[in-house]
Amino acid sequence: MQVVGWAFAAPKEPLVPVQRDEVPGPGEVLVEVAGCGVCHTDLGFFYDGVPTRHALPLTLGHEISGKVVAVGPGAERWSGQEIVVPAVIPCGRCRACREGHGSICPQQIFPGNDVHGGFASHVRVPAEGLCPVPNLKDKQRNPAGIDLASLSVVADAVSTPYQAIERAAIAKGDVAVFVGAGGVGGFGIQIAAARGAHVVAIDVDEKRLAVMKQHGAALTLPAGDPRELKKQIGAFAKQRDVPTWRTFVFETSGSKAGQETAFALLSHGGYLSVIGYTPAKVEVRLSNLMAFDATAQGNWGCLPAHYPAIVDLVLSGAVQVQPFVEHRPLSTINQTFADLHEHKVSRRVVLVPGN
C-alpha cells in the first residue's frame, strides 16, 4: 500500500511529505492513522539533534491511534480493529521481557525512532502489544464521546505517568507531588487524584496551575526556592497526617531546574520518579538518597499490558483528555513544531491526516 509520511532529514530542516510502499510482514500490521500526538521527544529530535536509532530520513511520531487496514501472517485477528499503538513495543520473547523487564527490552520498537512513525497516512508496526479500542459509539463505554484521534495521547502522554504511578504503588491518602503540570505531568496529576492521592502541582505557568486546580490538584505552587516549596509541601502533608515515606515526587517538567527541584524535595524514606527528559546536566547531592534512605526511579515508556486499563480510565472520564488536546491537520506539521517550540500552544497537539 502506498503511504505518505512526513520525512525528517536533518535537525531544523523542514519536514517534507514522501511517498513509500508499506506491506506488513509476519506478525505486523498496517495502521491507518487517526491521530498522532506531538511530543517533547519529537521536538528534541528535530530541534536539539537528539539522535534517532533509525538512520535519517525518518518519519517521526510515536503517539498513534488508528485502524488496522492490512495484516501480515500471524496478525490476522487484528484486521479492522481500532487500536492504540504503544509508544514502546517490547518484543515479548527475550529474557528481559520474560523476566518482567519489557521496558528495557533490547529489541523494543519505538515508532518514530526505530521505525517510521505516525506523522503519516499509515504506519507499519508489530502486532505485539497493540491495545484494542472498544466500540467508541457505545455510550456506556464512552460516555464522554472521546474520538479515536484524541486517544492517540494515551500512547506516552497518559501511559508514561500511569506506569510511573503504578511502580510507586500510589494509594489513597498518599501525597503525590508533580514538578511540571503540563502534558505528561497534567495527566499524571489526574491519574494520581483518581487513585485518591492528595496531589501537589508545581509549575512556572500560573495559568497551567489554575487549570490543574480544576483537574485533581489539591495544592498548586509556583516554581521557586526548593527549600520553601519543601516546607509548604511538608505542612500540606502534616495537615493530612501523611508521613514523608508516603510522599512521592514525580519529575515531569523535563527541565534542568525541574529535575534539581524534584530531587531537593526528597525527604526521609521518600520516593522520586524521573519521567521528564532533558539533555542538560543537573547538579544534585546524590548522598541525599543515602542520608534519607530514599529511592530514585527512572521510567521509560509504559508496558503494553497497562494500556487497556488506561484506555478505560480515559473513556470513563476519570482521566480527561479532550480539554487538554488540540487537533490540527497533519499538513500543518512544520508550523505546529514551530508553535510548540516557541511555547505558543498550551495543549497537546494531535495531528490528523487527511484534514
In this structure, are 184 and 129 located in the same domain?
A: no
Alpha-carbon gap, residue 187 to 219, rounded angstroms: 16
Alpha-carbon gap, residue 108 to 104, rounded angstroms: 8
In this structure, are 224 and 132 located in the same domain?
A: no
The domain in which residue 198 lies consists of 161-298
Query: Which of these three, 255, 281, 298, is where a domain ends?
Result: 298
Q: What is the pLDDT of residue 1?
A: 87
In this structure, are 98 and 218 located in the same domain?
A: no
Query: Which of these three, 283, 298, 313, is where a domain ends?
Result: 298
Q: What is the CATH number of the domain that holds 262?
A: 3.40.50.720
In this structure, are 133 and 185 located in the same domain?
A: no
In this structure, are 323 and 308 located in the same domain?
A: yes
In this structure, are 262 and 334 located in the same domain?
A: no
Mean pLDDT by 10 residues, the chain (355 residues): 95 97 97 96 93 96 98 97 97 95 96 97 96 94 93 96 97 98 96 98 96 97 97 98 98 96 98 94 96 97 96 95 96 97 93 88
Q: What is the pLDDT of residue 224?
A: 96
In this structure, are 13 and 139 located in the same domain?
A: yes
Q: What is the pLDDT of residue 355?
A: 62
In this structure, are 324 and 345 located in the same domain?
A: yes
Query: Which of these three, 253, 272, 298, is where a domain ends?
Result: 298
Q: What is the pLDDT of residue 312?
A: 95
In this structure, are 345 and 231 located in the same domain?
A: no
Three-class DSSP category at 319 = coil
Of 114, 118, 122, 110, give the one whose Cα is nearest residue 56. 114
Residue 25's identity, in one-letter code, is G
Cell of residue 170, nine digits: 500510589
In this structure, are 98 and 195 located in the same domain?
A: no
In this structure, are 262 and 167 located in the same domain?
A: yes
In this structure, are 220 and 75 located in the same domain?
A: no
Considering its fold, how many domains does the chain have in total? 2
Q: What is the CATH number of the domain that holds 318?
A: 3.90.180.10
